[in-house]
Structure 1
Amino acid sequence: MILLNNSQKLLALYKSLARSIPESLKVYGSVYHINHGNPFNLEVLVDSWPEYRMVIIRPQKQEMTDDMDLYTNVYRIFSKEPQKSQEILKNCEIINWKQILQIQGFQGSLGEGIRVAAFSKSVKVEHSRAILFITEDILNLNASNKSKFGSWAETGHPDVEFESETPDFKYAQLDVSYSGLVNDRWRRGKNERSLRYIKRCIEALPTACVLGPEGIPVSWVTMDPSCELGMAYSMERYRKKGKMRQTMVQFKKYLRQNNIPFYLSVLEFNEDSRRSVKQNGFFEAACEWHQWTCYPQLVPF
């Protein structure tokens, strides 16, 4: 595959991927952050250029030093011909099958190629899926929108005036000092690797929270390196009081103002969360969120 590291080619790819949303959204969001400072040191591989059939986003080699780090060893894939993906995926120079890793994408038809490639490397695969939620803006994305290179932080942190029924609550950027709080309440967290990942997300990417009367976050949401919103949480005593909705309303406004794509996923059985995100202006996409977690034979699972 071809490493795409020219800024003009990456911008051309970004525009091209917009035409395949929502299926390409996981890769599209990753390319957005790569084009805006690349804070997670990701790289882009295509099977050919300028015409391409497959795009793979992966961390640069120096990032993947921990064979057990599921939060870092993540590959994000979009293919125009997902049924023909297995030969590319078998290539050890593209995917390091000796590590525990995750492959993410919004095309369930990638699954067969992933399973065949993994089986050829004696790797166990666990598949999980969720409902993908997007907004109307995402479907209507115009790739000619302003997209200057540089860090998103150059536009400033979210500082929208927060309108609340009480002055005791304040909308703010989530501070990295609260990484432990987020880690303790994240379903996929509660370990040292997740804590490092959360710190990095908070430091490098847009986040939002509502601070309570004590100046401590009572609700929050973060963004990952592919522009997916996640880790959303409200402290128990503030649930069903509109704090998460207030957080999301202001955060979405900020992201739209700065042309930052966003979306989220919810497990199918989580009825409360599905109802909540719909109330926040999201709707179910035509495709689903998919993740394949891969375990090498020598790694206990």
Structure 2
Amino acid sequence: MKVLQKDEQMSAETVLLKHFPKSCQVYGYLYSYNRNKPSNIQVVVDTWPDFKVIICRPDPRNKESSEWRKKVIFYSLDEKILRKMLLDEETIDWSTYFVVGGYDSSHAALLKEVSSLRQVSYKDLSCSRLLYLPDSCHLVKPAFDSDLKSRISSLDPSHAHLVNQTWKFGGDELGYKKIVRQISHFPSYCIIDSQGQPVSWLLLYEYLSMGMLYTLPEHRQKGYATVLVYTMAQRLLAEGYPVFCHVEEDNMTSYKMIKSLGFIEDPSFREKWIAFNT
């Protein structure tokens, strides 16, 4: 196992791009970190430079890591090597609660096997479709008038409590801190009302997936979410970011809306989230 340095992470980013979109979670983290966005992760690989498994884990050298929900993400081209790394005492701290996020569902049996060998509990959290835009030619512009366009704005940290109250995985102090950091360092968009208050919003996670899309109930069925996803995708494409998002498997409303904007998917590919030491 090897811990990657900054220049090596740049090289790893280039390799992962060749495997996009299935590598999107790790690729997004490296893309963000390599452009000096705040991060509390450490990147490890099985071998270098020809790695088969790459893992992002909480950085034990970073004191702020303890202030965030511990998350591990990985991309693997060899399940035997992945199994060996997960069983290695030095790779992951299995003694505390952590989440493995956005992993290829084909690895689900392996993770549960390792959980059993480690004698730790686990809980499946969600299963999502991966939708992405390969380039600007795929993006479809929705119809919206100049009045709605004039109401598109950005979130600021004072809106974090509102977002935290409506985020499925938020509602606590850790969720609030995470949202403040995302709003402060990553693009966000919202639709404001006549008093300048957000009524619909969309953020970018630290691994660059669009997320936390939400519209207040009394403002739904007006196309706000569609406009926000389009506006965010347009900006990300213009600035060279990867453009992707995850839609929970049973959320057909969001799935159809995002597909209507030109996003594509691999129907056979699903991403899962699982928590350990629950």
Same fold per superposition (TM over 0.5): yes
Q: 1:168 to 1:276 in 2, by over 3 A?
A: closer
Match of 2:6 in 1: 6
Q: Is the CA contact (8 Å cut-off) linking 2:128 and 2:246 kept in structure 1? A: yes
Match of 1:58 in 2: 57
Q: 1:132 to 1:249 in 2, by over 3 A?
A: same
Q: Which amino acid aligns with 2:193?
A: G
Q: How much has 1:168 moved relative to structure 2?
A: 8.7
Q: Any idea what the Cα deviations from partners look like across 1:179-211, whole Å, max 9, x if unmatched?
A: 010011111111222111111111122211122
User: Could you tell me how far apart the structure 2 residues matched to 1:111 and 1:83 are?
Assistant: 14
Match of 1:298 in 2: none
Q: Is the CA contact (8 Å cut-off) linking 2:25 and 2:102 kept in structure 1? A: yes
User: Could you tell me how far apart the structure 2 residues matched to 1:288 and 1:79 are?
Assistant: 15
Q: Any idea what the Cα deviations from partners look like across 1:135-190, whole Å, max 9, x if unmatched?
A: 2329x9xxxxxxxxxxxxxxxxxxxxxx7442794222211110010011111111
User: Could you tell me how far apart the structure 2 residues matched to 1:105 and 1:82 are?
Assistant: 16
Q: Is the CA contact (8 Å cut-off) linking 1:40 and 1:59 kept in structure 2? A: no
Match of 1:97 in 2: 94
Matched, 1:291 2:267: no
User: Could you tell me how far apart the structure 2 residues matched to 1:285 and 1:209 are?
Assistant: 29
- 3-state DSSP of counterpart to 1:206: coil
Within the candidate set 110, 117, 122, 2:114 is matched to 117
User: Could you tell me how far apart the structure 1 residues matched to 2:44 and 2:204 are?
Assistant: 23
Within the candidate set 234, 240, 245, 1:253 is matched to 234
Q: Is the CA contact (8 Å cut-off) linking 1:133 and 1:284 kept in structure 2? A: yes
Q: Any idea what the Cα deviations from partners look like across 1:55-83, whole Å, max 9, x if unmatched?
A: 001221223325xx5xx300110011125
Which stretches of structure 1, 4 residues or more, deviate above 3 A after TM superposition? none
User: Could you tell me how far apart the structure 1 residues matched to 2:257 and 2:219 are?
Assistant: 15
Q: Percent identity?
A: 25
- Within 5 Å, give how 1:1-301 maps onto structure 2: 1-7=1-7, 9-61=8-60, 62-65=63-66, 72-127=69-124, 128-137=126-135, 164-166=145-147, 169-286=150-267, 287-295=269-277, 301=278
Q: 1:267 to 1:105 in 2, by over 3 A?
A: closer
TM-score computed with the length of structure 2 as normaliser: 0.89
- 3-state DSSP of counterpart to 2:110: helix
Q: Which amino acid aligns with 1:266?
A: V
Q: 1:201 to 1:167 in 2, by over 3 A?
A: closer
Q: Is the CA contact (8 Å cut-off) linking 1:133 and 1:265 kept in structure 2? A: yes
- Aligned residues between the structures: 268
Structure 1 unaligned segments of length 5 or more: list them.
Answer: 141-162, 296-300
Greater shift in the superposed pair: 271-280 or 168-177: 168-177
- 3-state DSSP of counterpart to 1:278: helix
User: Could you tell me how far apart the structure 2 residues matched to 1:167 and 1:280 are?
Assistant: 18
Q: Which amino acid aligns with 2:131?
A: F
Q: 1:167 to 1:208 in 2, by over 3 A?
A: closer
Q: Is the CA contact (8 Å cut-off) linking 1:22 and 1:285 kept in structure 2? A: no
User: Could you tell me how far apart the structure 2 residues matched to 1:167 and 1:135 are?
Assistant: 24
| RMSD between aligned residues | 2.1
TM-score computed with the length of structure 1 as normaliser: 0.83
Q: Is the CA contact (8 Å cut-off) linking 1:185 and 1:233 kept in structure 2? A: yes
Q: Which amino acid aligns with 2:58?
A: P
Q: How much has 1:108 moved relative to structure 2?
A: 1.8
Structure 2 unaligned segments of length 5 or more: list them.
Answer: 139-143
- 3-state DSSP of counterpart to 1:48: coil
User: Could you tell me how far apart the structure 1 residues matched to 2:94 and 2:264 are?
Assistant: 35
Q: Is the CA contact (8 Å cut-off) linking 2:164 and 2:170 kept in structure 1? A: yes
Match of 2:141 in 1: none
